[in-house]
Amino acid sequence: MDIVVGTGNKGKLEEIRALFNEMGTQFRILGLDSFPDLQNIPEPGRTFEENALHKARTVAWHTGRVSLADDSGLEVDALGGEPGVYSARYSGPEATDEGNMAKLLDRLEGVSFYRRTARFRCVLAVCTLQGKHFLARGVWEGIITLQRRGDRGFGYDPVFYDPDLDLAAAEMTMAQKNERSHRGRALRDFAGKWPDFAESLS
């Protein structure tokens, strides 16, 4: 079975493929690069759940295949939950990873390390062409660093510190990150829910 992942982010797609391989599933994972006319799906919702489901429905309707889409982001307690659903475009319409991290570190200037608690949150939506769907969720608790650390990963990984491993996300191997990450936890939640969902489709 094909599953189309509603993302053009190569780093995110690589993580999802690696996690599916670890789970031993037999799905063929396609990204939006296989559907060049389906790009830049808007995220009109005010919650991760709304955005993930909107993207999954759009992809399923367009491709005729089972779709999986996520909305994920960073919530920083000292900033009242910012950047939240705006994580990818935190620094503006032309946002980049560097620009987003720079804005985040600037907003946290003067905030002590142990008051910089944060979490990555991920919501996955799975949807069929007929509109059947379910949601899976994962959360990764951590702390925002005082400066960038590591050169792996993408997004906010260089400034997100996991105290249990004593590593920033960008310092972790792919296996370490998949074990800890919000997306890894959401995909394991997905794996637990998928059998009953798949049976309902037959």
Is the pLDDT reported for residue 135 higher than 70?
A: yes
Q: At 54, list the tokens.
A: 């909107």
Task: Enumerate the active-site residues.
Answer: 71
Quick one: pLDDT at residue 202? 67
Q: At 176, list the tokens.
A: 């370490």
The number of domains in the chain is 1
Average pLDDT over the chain, rounded to an integer: 91
Binning pLDDT at 50, 70 and 90, where does residue 62 land? very high
Is the pLDDT reported for residue 157 higher than 70?
A: yes
| pLDDT (tens digit per residue) in 72-85 | 999 999 999 999 99
| pTM assigned to the model | 0.87
Binning pLDDT at 50, 70 and 90, where does residue 197 land? confident
Q: Which of 32-46, 85-99, 131-145 has the lowest mean pLDDT?
A: 32-46
Binning pLDDT at 50, 70 and 90, where does residue 100 land? very high
Bridge partners of 162? 167
pLDDT > 70: what percent of the chain?
99
Quick one: pLDDT at residue 19? 76
Quick one: pLDDT at residue 9? 79
d(CA 89, CA 177): 23
85 to each of 94, 97, 146, how far by Cα in Å?
16, 15, 23
d(CA 35, CA 150): 33
Q: Which domain holds residue 82?
A: 2-201
Q: How far is CA 69 from the centre of its chain?
A: 9
Is the pLDDT reported for residue 156 higher than 80?
A: yes
Is beta strand 66-76 parallel, antiparallel or unpaired with respect to 2-5?
parallel
Binning pLDDT at 50, 70 and 90, where does residue 26 land? confident
Residue 46 belongs to domain with CATH number: 3.90.950.10
Kind plus residue range of the DSSP H or E element containing 99: helix 97-107
Binning pLDDT at 50, 70 and 90, where does residue 30 land? very high
In the 8-state DSSP scheme, what is residue 132? -
